[in-house]
Structure 1
């Protein structure tokens, strides 16, 4: 049997769907399952993608622009396309993990989101030269969170993302995949039925001298050891959930430490978006955590326009969830998003071909954006508006719409 390096250069793939197919072929079933599964029946995961298929495009037959520009500015940083890397947890789909993703982001001129639960330290990620946004959950006490913010700032990150859209609704109708504490030969033996069919993945993670402990190094106390992934998860689960006063404190604390932008991720409601503005955030991301929040939460693309209409002139509005094609990006921008963040799409690219695979995914999206802009007859992503797309009646979901105040009637 040939145990060649599974992450050597492979042929270019032409779509995110092909990247997913290659990831499914290369990864053990539990690892792949952890990427695609959503909470409960998976309703929100399915709607995140299906909703994009309900949106049509209105192309021109002539008069297209010879050059199309995709560059924009997000969180105070210039990016070459309106697609950012969303922070995701321990990336054991590839041995280089978040470092490979950061290098790809830097090579393609976009922002890298690094998770609290990442498998690589923030210092290693920023050392790649990638403009990095550090993501934090509300976990631990305030002194601990302040220490983590300071460490991220000292490492040179360009902004902070507060992720508050992950609920405790984690039951899955099809069962949750097993996630071991570490990936070593003993684990491989125990999980043999799942991994024996993936010898190329086993070649790297199971070889002597290479043991991948699933830890969260960015949650390590000063001078202390990094907690395991499950230790970090326990800390999060046992931390009382934040209030809006806590959100405002977090934003102010980050401003004092760094002065760089602050994003609140996980907004689904108009009233929450308005509260985020009051808390002083620079940006929000409309998100249902890729369907891993409360199942039954509408697709994020259905909530973008109502939220953008309410707060888009005051803060930057981004979205994440279900992006698979460049046309999806254009549709999101047309409905009011400054940019989108991708998660599963780049993880599939990472599994398929490491750094080159992530670059490939970004190139696929860039090409799809360009084709859509050309068909719509516009020369810049900033010229897109709702008139360029078609959506059925009742498409949008207005959650938390403030009730109009009663009008006083003079006697």
Structure 2
């Protein structure tokens, strides 16, 4: 379809993904609840921040390395856990391989279509993401499986984070791929022969089961079966989060924080890191962009735990802006999924190269020798840009 498989921007990866993927698959990647205000603001907010580059004194060599969740990483960009990666037959294993090849940490979702053992084999620096789903014994069982597989950190996503209501229409995601479903989806799929051929030559169909949510009786639920179980479990308390962090006993990231008071409670609960996140705009719509909320949270708890950010990262310059405002690292989601759809494992690596190149250019232009030196003085911040929620307990 494309003579040159290489792309120079994440925007180009998205264009190729849109052309290659069936509408229902591409629509699921777009996501975003209700009118998509949060989804839009996540991206737009980065464009409101300006750089203040230096004209003399740049460093010929820049250090982009850091440590996150106890793991060394070649740059402060992590793979965010995203479930059911049916955009390419390589799925999470392809993503993990690309991340390992670039020295980047892999985040693996409980709702992934490939087992944790396969993914850790492709990337030993894997953090397993867990939901508060089922009783404590079931949760411990999934956690211990991740530990036995070799996962080095745990990512907890405790809050509801998926919306069916989208003003532009929610894509049809089937319960399972069976003959009836294949027939129903055939017109859309046949209109995208390149995508169909990728799966046909591997003799498999997109997997909508969740092997990492395997039940004690050995059955493996479908994506929506696991989702319904999660939604049917009473939400966790802060005491539950403290229990989970203690039970894991290692690097533990709480994902989804947007309030200062929640950040402080997370510290009290014993987490070692948090991610300022609105789940890519899939949570309550009109939640502010995460980059607007980051400075207040980083100021409140940044000296006590690692503060990360996800939401809206599309280029290396966005990474630099997040680091300048107090993040230790960022997680990317849609960006690498578009790369995976565009060109498989090589496409994910392409996206990581784009991130690294843009980040390195920003560090160079701002006159620093390392990513650790980035600070608010490197930015032109418009008046009224930042937001703060829950500033007082």
Tell whether the structures are fold-level matches, with TM greater than 0.5: yes
Match 1:24 to one of 15, 18, 21: 18
Q: What's 1:380 paired with? A: 370
**8 A Cα contact 1:23 1:349, kept in partner:** yes
| Post-superposition offset of 1:364 | 0.3
Q: What's 2:105 paired with? A: 111
Q: Are 1:144 and 2:138 matched, yes or no?
A: yes
Q: What's 2:248 paired with? A: 254
Give TM-score, length-normalised by structure 2.
0.97
CA distance in 1, matches of 2:229, 2:152: 26
Q: What's 2:229 paired with? A: 235
Match 1:47 to one of 30, 41, 44: 41
Instruction: From the superposition, tell whether residues 43 and 290 of structure 1 become closer, same or farther in structure 2 (CA, over 3 Å).
Output: same
Secondary structure at the residue paired with 1:322? Answer: coil
Secondary structure at the residue paired with 1:84? Answer: strand
CA distance in 1, matches of 2:104, 2:160: 25
Secondary structure at the residue paired with 1:213? Answer: coil
**8 A Cα contact 1:56 1:391, kept in partner:** yes
Moved over 6 A (4+): none
Moved more, 310-319 or 10-19: 10-19
| Post-superposition offset of 1:155 | 0.2
Q: Are 1:81 and 2:72 matched, yes or no?
A: no
**8 A Cα contact 1:302 1:395, kept in partner:** yes
Q: What's 2:344 paired with? A: 354
Secondary structure at the residue paired with 1:178? Answer: coil
Q: Are 1:341 and 2:331 matched, yes or no?
A: yes
Q: Are 1:128 and 2:122 matched, yes or no?
A: yes
Q: Are 1:292 and 2:282 matched, yes or no?
A: yes
CA distance in 2, matches of 1:172, 1:105: 31
CA distance in 2, matches of 1:12, 1:39: 32
Match 2:355 to one of 358, 365, 369: 365
Query: What do the CA deviations read for 1:63-106 (whole angstroms, capped 9, x no partner)?
Result: 21101110000000010001000000100000010000000110
Q: What's 2:265 paired with? A: 275
Q: Which structure 2 residue ranges, 5 or more long, are not aligned? A: none
Counting only pairs closer than 5 Å after superposition, residues 319-330 of structure 1 correspond to structure 2 as 319-330=309-320
Q: What's 2:204 paired with? A: 210
CA distance in 1, matches of 2:83, 2:202: 25
Aligned residues: 393
Give TM-score, length-normalised by structure 1.
0.93
Secondary structure at the residue paired with 1:402? Answer: coil
Q: CA RMSD in A?
A: 1.6
Kindly name which structure, 1 or 2, has the bigger radius of gyration based on alpha carbons: 1
| Post-superposition offset of 1:188 | 3.3
Instruction: From the superposition, tell whether residues 203 and 217 of structure 1 become closer, same or farther in structure 2 (CA, over 3 Å).
Output: same
**8 A Cα contact 2:120 2:151, kept in partner:** yes
Q: Which structure 1 residue ranges, 5 or more long, are not aligned? A: 1-5, 404-411
Counting only pairs closer than 5 Å after superposition, residues 59-98 of structure 1 correspond to structure 2 as 59-98=53-92
CA distance in 2, matches of 1:368, 1:209: 38
Query: What do the CA deviations read for 1:6-48 (whole angstroms, capped 9, x no partner)?
Result: 8x99531101001101100100011001001200000000000
Moved more, 199-208 or 117-126: 199-208
CA distance in 1, matches of 2:270, 2:257: 14
| Post-superposition offset of 1:253 | 1.1
Q: What's 1:409 paired with? A: none
Match 2:165 to one of 168, 171, 174: 171
| Post-superposition offset of 1:184 | 5.6
Moved more, 189-198 or 239-248: 189-198
CA distance in 2, matches of 1:222, 1:231: 15
| Post-superposition offset of 1:183 | 3.7
| Post-superposition offset of 1:129 | 3.3
Q: Are 1:303 and 2:303 matched, yes or no?
A: no
**8 A Cα contact 1:48 1:301, kept in partner:** yes
Query: What do the CA deviations read for 1:216-270 (whole angstroms, capped 9, x no partner)?
Result: 0001024612111111011011001111111111111111xxxx20100000000
**8 A Cα contact 1:301 1:319, kept in partner:** yes
Secondary structure at the residue paired with 2:122? Answer: coil
Instruction: From the superposition, tell whether residues 168 and 240 of structure 1 become closer, same or farther in structure 2 (CA, over 3 Å).
Output: farther
Secondary structure at the residue paired with 1:160? Answer: strand
